[in-house]
Amino acid sequence: MNGRLEYWVKVPIGPIHPALEEPEKFIITLDGERIIHVDVKLGYNLRGLEWIAMRRNYIQILYLAERICGICSFSHNHTYSRAVEEMAGIQVPERAEYIRVIVGELERIHSHLLNLGVVGHTIGYDTVLHLSWLARERVMDILEAIGGNRVNYSVNMIGGVRRNIEEKHKRAILDMVKYYRNEVMPKIEEIFLYDPTVEARLRDAGVIPKRIAIEYSAQGPTARGSGVKKDVRYNEKLSVYPDLGVKPVTPKEFTGVVKGDVFDRMVVRVGELWQSMDTIERAIDQMPEGKIKAVPKDNALLFQLKKADGEGIGRYEAPRGELIHYVKGQKGKDVPAKWKMREPTFPNLFAIARALVGEQVADVPVAIASIDPCLSCTDRVAVIDANTGRKKILTEKDLLKLSIEKTRELNPEVKAKPEVIGVGCPRGGAL
Amino acid sequence: MNILYATLGFIGIYTYVSFASLLWEGIDRKLVARMQRRVGPPLLQPFYDFLKLVSKESIIPRDANRFFELAPVLALATSIALLAYTPLGFEPLFGTKGDVILFVYLLTLIGFLRVIGAVSSGSPYAQIGAQREMIILVSREGPMMLALFTILWRLNGLGVTKPFSMGTFYEHNVWELGTPMSVIGTVILLFVFLAWLASEIEVGYFDIPEAETELAEGTMAEYSGRHLALFDLASAIKAFVSASLVVAVFFPWGISGYLDLIGLPAMVVDLLFHTLKVFTVLFVSMTIFRTVTGRLRITQATNLFWTRLLPASMVGALLLVIDALGVIA
């Protein structure tokens, strides 16, 4: 065994590598083309969001939450809103919940189309990338029409939504659904369910067995691809989703077998595209009239939140899996004492790292892409490498101390204690 | 005096092929872009790339050895030498009997030099890329050589001046045999050749050694500046030359005969017509192929060569042999 050790090669994949969209690092130990061990290193995308959040009030954090990640910008601020609503005991109007469902599902469509393209690109099938991203433009246009932006639509507000869905939006959305059903989905299905190249590359690559998926607490399509029926919208009877008949999609319904490989994860995503379209249609059908915000004025809302005390947890099935936000309020202040989120990529990354052992090096990029990793969401804890090669894991307390020191060094004017800048959102009242 | 003219012609051919192969690269990129509903780069983009790369600093890795710098130069030199034995619508300038063997040897040498360069760079990505290139190299040449030599052996039977030379194809071609069995065999071999061509220029299924998303350009990972430019030009010429082989074997017809031209004008017209045919073959084997397929794993690709293409090549060869020997009358 020791003789073999000599032939092992350690290949770093990342932090910068063409297969990865975001900085992350996998140290892969290879024996020829076979993978012996995978080590995951995180922390290349730390932006100190939780620290920034301590200097923002509840409403400002909404826009910060949106910028955690470009793809799930709705999911993050939706989940955050749910957490704050639970904390402050705010009832969300039903129409607002429906609008959230519609925008959430639109986001799921664009996120899944993006991931399908990325997986196509990682196996060198660039045509899939270009055409699926072309198809994605349509839903981006709709999101722009509703929210005013292609990516950060800022639809959510604590206790409701900021944008209404009007008749013209409804017509545009239904047109879009029709376009996807008739023109895009047949092609997508042909590529991801029947294309021989795709099947050759994705079948039996990066297999996550059901047991591993449960043990590592895999989330979203990664778990469902392994046959775990896990979907917060269904399991937790979240918001109005039970009325819309959302069920976890597993590959069994499409191909009849559950293997837990990359192919199955893609099948789940294709299935969820269909499901999202059905959900959107039903939501538009059932959407009641009424107001869209529990508290119309932002400063009144902020005042109400100032009085709130306690903690709230928001859960939502983001396109990549279950997203959890935790908010702890403090009485008399419009700043949360603690804001913390758990992203689906975190458990998924370790599940996939475990699954890669024994596979070929050619499967690494496609397996990593298949969980649709979102590192900008995940990285919020820093591991500092000293120049000497010594590693030290800093606790939150150390980080806080260090960042206060650094802030002082940069700008002595700023006081040591995290403070809020400004009151409320200056543009909030006008909208 | 004859040698002087041949040398001048050779220089002319080298200039022309460099230009045509880079132009094809531009056309290919544009066509793929249009098939993917993109605008794509301008037609002359490969020329801009080449000129830019030539003018840029070349970074040599600390762990690289001498062969790292030598390999691109040798690769380009090999590809230029290859042109002397490449059929370009007329018999190769320096063609002699048996030059097919030299042709295959030089063609493989380019791939081998890429491996040498990659191994010398000291990068783990290049190392894996080199391993893959080596595996593919030994897998892909088998079916092609079997097909090529069978056809040459068969054409020898028809009586040629220089046996086993590229000139053979301009005296007789394989379709002339005309019997149903030989036509079927030839079609099978044509398919083998097109697959081999795709693997020779490493596109579609066979984009394995350079696999951008897996190995960050694999064998070429550490190359930059002048050295990369030399490799780029060598690869472009190699693509043109490989396609020329397919054209010469299966579609050798010229048009100068119909236009009543002789001498230099005939050669020029045939060269232009040959270029057109090369572009057509490359369009099938490169542009369309890489648009409609993705990359295979190395095991799958090797499997494809040994269990699909080699048997196909054997069947095609056997059909030609049976036809020639008249076992089944």
Instruction: Give me the residue spans of the domains in chain B.
Output: 2-325
- What ipTM did this prediction achieve? 0.78
- Helix (H) and strand (E) counts for chain B? 13, 0
CA gap A380, A374 in Å, rounded: 12
Contact B298 A17 (CB under 8 A): no
Question: What is the least distance, in Å, from the CA of A27 to any CA of chain B?
Answer: 12
Number of domains into which chain A is organized: 1
- What's the sign of the alpha-carbon dihedral A382, A386, A391, A397? negative
Quick count: other Cβ atoms within 10 Å of Cβ A284?
18
Buried b (16+ CB within 10 A) or exposed e, A58-74: bbbbbebbbbbbebbbb
Angle in degrees, CA A87, A93, A98, rounded to 5: 110
Contact B128 A33 (CB under 8 A): yes
Model pLDDT, residue A401: 66
Buried b (16+ CB within 10 A) or exposed e, A33-42: bebbebeeeb
Name the pairing type of β-strands A338-342 and A9-13: unpaired
Residues of chain B positioned with their CB less than 8 A from the CB of A363:
297
Question: pLDDT by residue (tens digit) across A386-411?
Answer: 455 554 544 555 656 666 777 777 77
Q: How far does Cα B72 stand from its chain's mean position?
A: 17
Return the SS3 of B260.
coil
A371 pLDDT higher than 60: yes
Question: pLDDT by residue (tens digit) across B215-261?
Answer: 777 788 888 888 889 888 888 998 999 998 888 888 887 777 777 77
Average pLDDT, chain A: 80
Return the SS3 of B15.
helix
Question: pLDDT by residue (tens digit) across A131-152?
Answer: 888 888 888 888 888 888 888 8
* In contact, B200 and B107? CB cutoff 8 Å: yes
φ and ψ at residue B95, rounded to 5 degrees: -65, 135
Model pLDDT, residue B48: 92
Cα–Cα separations (whole angstroms), residue A394 to A43, A138, A350, A385: 12, 44, 21, 11
Nearest residue to B207 (alpha-carbon basis) of A264, A182, A121, A179: A121
Contact A131 B207 (CB under 8 A): no
* In contact, B135 and B180? CB cutoff 8 Å: no
A18 touches chain B (CB under 8 A): yes
Six-digit token string for A55: 């200097």
φ and ψ at residue A17, rounded to 5 degrees: -155, 140
For residue A290, give the amino acid letter: G
Which residues neighbour A298 within 8 Å (Cβ) at sequence distance 6 or greater?
A59, A157, A424, A425, A428, A429
* In contact, A323 and A343? CB cutoff 8 Å: yes
Residues of chain B positioned with their CB less than 8 A from the CB of A364:
214
Rounded (to 5) percent helix, strand, coil in chain A: 50, 15, 35
Q: Which residue of chain B is at minimal alpha-carbon distance from A198? A: B294
Six-digit token string for A285: 């059908």
Question: pLDDT by residue (tens digit) across B62-91?
Answer: 878 888 888 899 998 998 888 888 888 777
- The interaxial angle of helices A126-147 and A94-122, nearest 10 deg, is 160
A194 pLDDT higher than 70: yes
Put simply, the chain A residues between 193 and 222 with a CB less than 8 A from any chain B CB are 197-198, 200-201
Beta-carbon pairs below 8 A across chains A and B: 78
Contact B294 A33 (CB under 8 A): no
Cα–Cα separations (whole angstroms), residue A136 to A132, A368, B199: 6, 22, 33
Nearest residue to A141 (alpha-carbon basis) of A97, A93, A109: A109
Question: What is the least distance, in Å, from the CA of A237 to any CA of chain B?
Answer: 40
Model pLDDT, residue B27: 92
CA gap B168, A22 in Å, rounded: 56
Block residue for tokens 């021989």? A196
Phi-psi region at A293: left, alpha or beta (left = phi > 0; alpha = psi -120 to 50) = beta
Contact A122 B291 (CB under 8 A): no
Return the SS3 of A1.
coil
Residues of chain B positioned with their CB less than 8 A from the CB of A365:
213-214
Q: How far does Cα A177 stand from its chain's mean position?
A: 23
Question: pLDDT by residue (tens digit) across A337-353?
Answer: 888 888 888 888 888 88
Contact A201 B292 (CB under 8 A): no
In this predicted model, which residue has the larger pLDDT, A242 or B109?
B109
pLDDT (average), residues A376-391: 52
Q: Classify burial at B245, counting beta carbons within 10 Å of its beta carbon; exposed 0-12, middle 13-18, buried 19 or more.
A: buried
Range of the domain at A210: 57-372
The secondary structure of residue A360, as a DSSP letter, is: B
A16 touches chain B (CB under 8 A): no
The secondary structure of residue B64, as a DSSP letter, is: -
The secondary structure of residue B93, as a DSSP letter, is: T
Q: Classify burial at B233, counting beta carbons within 10 Å of its beta carbon; exposed 0-12, middle 13-18, buried 19 or more.
A: buried
A120 touches chain B (CB under 8 A): yes
Quick count: other Cβ atoms within 10 Å of Cβ B263?
8
Q: What is the DSSP string of B212-252?
A: HHHHSSGGGTT--HHHHHHHHHHHHHHHHHHHHHHHHHH--
Asked whether the whole model's pTM tops 0.90, one would answer no
For residue A412, give the amino acid letter: P
Contact B36 A198 (CB under 8 A): no
The residues of B whose Cβ lies within 8 A of any Cβ of A are 32, 35-38, 124-125, 127-128, 131, 204-205, 207-208, 211-214, 216-217, 291-300
Q: What is the DSSP string of A251-314?
A: THHHHS----SHHHHHHHHHHHHHHHHHHHHHHHHHPPPS-SBSSSSHHHHHHHHHH--EEEEE
CA gap B192, A309 in Å, rounded: 74
Q: Confidence band (pLDDT; 50, 70, 90) for A429?
A: very low
Question: pLDDT by residue (tens digit) across A89-132?
Answer: 888 888 888 888 888 899 899 889 988 888 888 888 888 888 88
Q: Classify burial at A243, counting beta carbons within 10 Å of its beta carbon; exposed 0-12, middle 13-18, buried 19 or more.
A: middle
Q: Confidence band (pLDDT; 50, 70, 90) for A253?
A: confident
A421 pLDDT higher than 50: no
* In contact, B238 and B79? CB cutoff 8 Å: yes
Q: How far does Cα A212 stand from its chain's mean position?
A: 21
B59 pLDDT higher than 70: yes
Cis peptide before A242 (omega within 30 of 0): no
Q: Confidence band (pLDDT; 50, 70, 90) for A414?
A: low
Question: pLDDT by residue (tens digit) across A34-85?
Answer: 888 888 877 777 777 777 888 888 888 888 888 887 788 888 888 888 888 8
B328 pLDDT higher than 70: no
Residues of chain A positioned with their CB less than 8 A from the CB of B212:
18, 124
Residues of chain A positioned with their CB less than 8 A from the CB of B293:
125, 197
* In contact, A425 and A60? CB cutoff 8 Å: yes
CA gap B39, A248 in Å, rounded: 40
Question: What is the least distance, in Å, from the CA of A33 to any CA of chain B?
Answer: 8
Residues of chain A positioned with their CB less than 8 A from the CB of B128:
9, 11, 30, 33, 361
Average pLDDT, chain B: 84
| Residue A43 within a domain | no
| Residue A205 within a domain | yes
Start-to-end CA distance of chain A, whole Å, equals 69
Block residue for tokens 């292609």? A150
φ and ψ at residue A213, rounded to 5 degrees: -60, -40
In this predicted model, which residue has the larger pLDDT, A365 or A61?
A61
| A5-19, A118-132, A285-299, B147-161: least confident range | A5-19
CA gap A238, A236 in Å, rounded: 5
Disruptive mutation site among B214, B287, B288, B298 for chain A (greatest number of A CBs within 10 Å):
B214
Could you tell me the CATH number of the domain that includes residue A296? 1.10.645.10
| Residue A231 within a domain | yes
- From B32, B35, B213, residue closest to A124, measured CB to CB: B213
CA gap A346, A353 in Å, rounded: 11
The secondary structure of residue B161, as a DSSP letter, is: S
Contact A361 B291 (CB under 8 A): no
